[in-house]
Amino acid sequence: MSTGLGLDDEQRAFLGLTLSMLGIGGVSLAAASELGERRLAVMLRAIARLAGSDTIAVGTRI
């Protein structure tokens, strides 16, 4: 898919997921598999904030 923006796969996935969260376009959540650690952290913080939380709990519950 060519966007005309010169984006690589990770950048395109990040943009698509971000726009989907805003209700612009529709991108499968599977696009997150294209994201690097930094951009995935941004998406996780955004989802947590949308859910009304300022923190991300990462770990295993026992």
Q: In this predicted model, what pLDDT tens digit does every residue of 3-51 receive, in sequence order? A: 577 888 888 888 888 888 777 777 777 777 888 888 888 888 877 777 7
Residue 47, C-beta contacts closer than 8 angstroms, at least 6 positions apart: 21
* 59 — pLDDT class (breaks 50, 70, 90): low
Q: In this predicted structure, what is the pLDDT of residue 42?
A: 84
Distance spanning both ends of the chain, measured CA to CA:
43
Q: In this predicted structure, what is the pLDDT of residue 28?
A: 76
State how far the Cα of 39 lies from the Cα of 12, in Å rounded to an integer: 11
Q: Is the pTM of this model over 0.85?
A: no
